[in-house]
Amino acid sequence: MRKFILMLAAAAAFNAAPAVAHPEDEDNYTRGPTTAEKAQMAIEKLVTAKKLPASWTAAKLVSFDFRSRDGKDQYVLIFENAAIKQATKRKLYVLMTTGGEFISANHKLT
């Protein structure tokens, strides 16, 4: 009887889902843009709309943080533009939803 139970357990384990994905499964997977990439795209739209100087397209991401504001979770991405001489305008705070949607951008974190 014990041999029969062991055979059943082995058969169940054999028919279980594989622990490692097949390499051919990876071909169908495409990664969408990251939140940082989406924030960079939002900056580029602001530059195109002439709301920011063109030098902001080369800004560097210096910080990526999470906060909860008014009961809503948000990402705060801080970009720095060394080409801007005025210190108060050198950083840009880009707020994004946790789903990757653009909320706002400003030189002060509100």
The Cα 88–Cα 107 span in angstroms is 7
Asked, for residue 56, whether it belongs to a domain, the answer is yes
Asked, for residue 86, whether it belongs to a domain, the answer is yes
Asked, for residue 45, whether it belongs to a domain, the answer is yes
The Cα 83–Cα 55 span in angstroms is 7
**pLDDT tens-digit profile of 25-70?**
566 678 899 999 999 999 999 999 999 999 999 999 999 999 999 9
Can you read off the two tokens belonging to residue 21? 């994905």
Question: What is the number of structural domains in the chain?
Answer: 1
Domain range spanning residue 81? 35-106
**pLDDT tens-digit profile of 72-106?**
999 999 999 999 999 999 999 999 999 999 999 99
CATH number where 60 lies:
3.10.450
